[in-house]
Amino acid sequence: MDQQVTLVHPGEVSRAGPVSSGLPADLLEQMRGRIRLVALLMLVAFAVDPFFFFGSRAVAALEGRSLPADILRDAAFYWWDLGVVAASAGLWAIARDTRIPVARLRAIGLVYEVALCFIVALRTFGEYYRDTGVMPNLTWAPALIIIFPLIIPSPPRLMLATTVAAGAMPLLALVVLESLGAMPVSAAYYINTAVGSAIAIGFASVGSRVVYRLGREVAAARELGSYRLEEKLGEGGMGEVWRARHRMLARGAAIKLIRPAPGADGRPGVSAHAVRRFEREAQAIAALRSPHTVELFDFGVAADGAFYYVMELLDGIDADRLVRHHGPVPPERAIYLLRQICHSLSEAESRGLVHRDIKPANVFLCRYGEDCDFVKVLDFGIVKAVGAAPEGDGGLTGGNAIQGTPAFIAPEQALGDAPLDGRADIYATGCVAYWLLTGQLVFTADTAVGLLLQHVQAVPAAPSTRARQPIPPALDRLVLSCLAKDPDRRPQSARELSDRLEALDVGTDWTRDRALAWWNEHRPAPPALQAVPAG
């Protein structure tokens, strides 16, 4: 894919909760936004009259006069309005709090629907009769009953019970008004109101069943083996990445999914080339055992022909966002991270593989067990075996296609005229080191072609000349050696680069205590992890 997105920070995780509706978690999470919108609309709608009434009353009191009797008689209705305003404000705040599970939010929203129908009916009946002396033909309660199943999707039985309760509210409002002597109510009007509520309940029941069935169909379409897709995390040219959960183990995972190639009907899909590249990525990751390479759990083909593989779900941030959000890292931390990248690349080299797309976005720093700043190398989608046949028309890329990211590509990879080996990844790792230390790319240009030419021809400036922090001369020289145009002048393997990084004396070390302190300050851990002692 164009961008790997297997990251989920604890604060960003969906809190759908143990919902029994069978609807996808991301669709349920969308309920929060709809409930907030409805609550805000009701708050504004019911706040207008009380605002002017109580404002006029306050002004009149300050001026030592009283309001006309026809205005004061509406006071009871305005107090009811304030009740709706308070309830709506509370519901809006609850829907905004992502710590509250969707199941609980849904229950509160349904209770709100019932109460709102009662107050709307009570106000409409009472005020209309007082002003005209006749009963209104209808209220807004039936409309609310019909609309709420679309706002708060729920299992049909639960929604039926809620709509029946909401449909009974206009009848209850009539009973209350008649008992208070506010208006006489005939048996015919009770029947007429009951019929209107019954029709609304029927429409609401049909709507809730349609929404529920569609949601169930979406959930069924998202079943991949033992995993259930919960939320799309991103998409790119090669497919999609979803947050998923194992149905039996309740284990989170990231699933990379690619749809099948176009069929005879001409429907849009993914090319056979992308499918083969996808399969190769899964096989490459599955063959690697370095703890610093993203782990593959499963690989398969869905019922609709979609290819997928299941990876570990990581909690952290990639090196690209790390520098963009927090600035360049100290030299000792850069060394700590680079050596972990080398660990992953060294194993790939030992298996005759070249990653070909090492870049900050594919270097993921995470909280891994009790470790912080634990690096995972991602996205082996364009991995290539050393000595493999050229990728012509029958291969996985176009005949002279350049694979990689222009800002982090080795000269020989940019030219595409020589076999690649692990030293191309060493060059890209040097570019990553440059980014970590300076917060800047080695080269910049207006176009991708311009970047490629820079990598082939231009001499890079030393990181120390572009960094805002002091960089030890030995580290400066090592980064420049990684960026040598001639592969023979670079470190010849990831292991050699790791050993040379380890031998550097930068005056201080990036310790576990420092890493934990940084993560607790910038990306606070869940309580269970924060309690882990350092040392």
Active site residues: 357
Task: Give the rounded distance of the alpha carbon of 131 from its chain centre.
Answer: 52
Which residue in the block uniquely carries the two structure tokens 């269970």? 528
Q: Which amino acid is at 355?
A: H
Query: Is residue 318 classed as helix, strand or coil in its secondary structure?
Result: strand
CA–CA separation, 241 vs 255, rounded Å? Answer: 5
Which residue in the block uniquely carries the two structure tokens 């082996």? 380
Q: Which residues pair with 243 in a beta bridge?
A: 231, 254
Measured CA distances, 362 to 140, 173, 188, 358 (Å): 54, 62, 72, 6
Q: Which amino acid is at 108?
A: I
278: which 2 tokens? 């996808």
Kind of pairing between the strands at 307-312 and 252-258:
antiparallel
Contact (Cβ atoms closer than 8 angstroms) between residue 112 and residue 85: no
Q: Which amino acid is at 394?
A: G
* Phi, psi angle pair for 135, to nearest 5°: -80, 140
* CA 267-272-273 angle, 5° bins: 130
243: which 2 tokens? 């947050």
The CA-to-CA distance between both ends of the chain, in Å, stands at 38
CA–CA separation, 451 vs 328, rounded Å? Answer: 22
Q: What is the largest CA-CA distance in the chain?
A: 99
Q: Which amino acid is at 244?
A: A
Q: Which value, to the nearest 10 degrees, does the dihedral of the CA atoms of residues 442, 445, 451, 453 take?
A: -110
